[in-house]
Amino acid sequence: MNNIVSMAWVKEQIGAPDVVIADCRFVLGKPEAGREAYEASHIPGAVYLDLEKDLSAPVDEHGGRHPLPDIFDLTVALSRAGIGNETKVVAYDDQGGAMASRLWWLLKYLGHEQVYVMDEGFDAWTHAGYPVTDEVIEPAPVKFLAVVEHSMLVEMDQVQELLGKEGVTLIDSREAPRYRGEAEPIDRAAGHIPGAINRFWKDGLSASGSWKDGAEQAERFSDLDKNRDIIVYCGSGVTATPNVIALQEAGFTNVKLYAGSWSDWISYSENPVATGDEKKA
């Protein structure tokens, strides 16, 4: 099975004892909006996982705007949500898959294979007339044991060491104006990590909001060498994760996430900043 599953497939899983559907809706700058939307209406049986309370650690001097959660804290949150090592997990949001992809990546990072992102998202689900409810369930806690896949992650000092090295491609997943340093509405400095190329994460979606298939994703990244290590980042490590999925769908296997991303990079005053376009992939 691919990483992306259809709404029809998800509908068939409602009530299945080995499946947890996770609502990951979240609005940056409005931290309660996602939970409020969940409590008003969600896929029947879905649990809610909060980007900042469950899927991130508290913000500190370094680590970016959405630091990776402590492994123990994350396993507690997953266990409380009814997610065990054998559970199939389907994540959804209404932000094009960005928040759902964060949960997908975290579970993969913890060694959990059976995790998927629902295509199109909750708005499309409701427009299609699929069932919704406001009933909030309390799942029975189960044990989740993490087997951390360290090879999926790079830290800031590793990115520093790799700058300018052959055999590595650094991908910035933000919108082009932010990448080029022409605009920065969120972080305190504009620009990108030197040597990074730009692949806006939303270009992995079609005009209708559905995920492009593997062949279309491969076309997006056709100029990249699959033998090189790929490091993906964004502003805070969240919207980079849809690009990680897209690269996997395109057949890339050496893909790592710089989880702290741009907001972590610029928290170190000695780190260089580039602006404009980088021409070489």
Catalytic (active-site) positions:
234
Cβ–Cβ < 8 Å for 23, 93: yes
Q: Within 13 Å of residue 80, how many CA atoms lie on the same side as its CB?
A: 10
Q: Which of 139, 93, 134, 132 is nearest to 238 (CA)?
A: 93
Cα–Cα separations (whole angstroms), residue 215 to 170, 222, 223, 229, 265: 22, 10, 14, 20, 33
Cα–Cα separations (whole angstroms), residue 146 to 113, 160, 222, 265: 12, 28, 34, 27
Q: One-letter amino acid identity for 277?
A: D
CA pair distance 235, 78, nearest whole angstrom? 25
Q: Which two tokens stand for residue 280?
A: 């070489």
Q: One-letter amino acid identity for 213?
A: D
∠ at Cα 165 (163, 171), nearest 5°? 60
CA pair distance 257, 227, nearest whole angstrom? 17
Q: Which of 258, 197, 257 is nearest to 222 (CA)?
A: 197
Q: Which of 144, 141, 157 is nearest to 106 (CA)?
A: 144
∠ at Cα 185 (30, 152), nearest 5°? 80
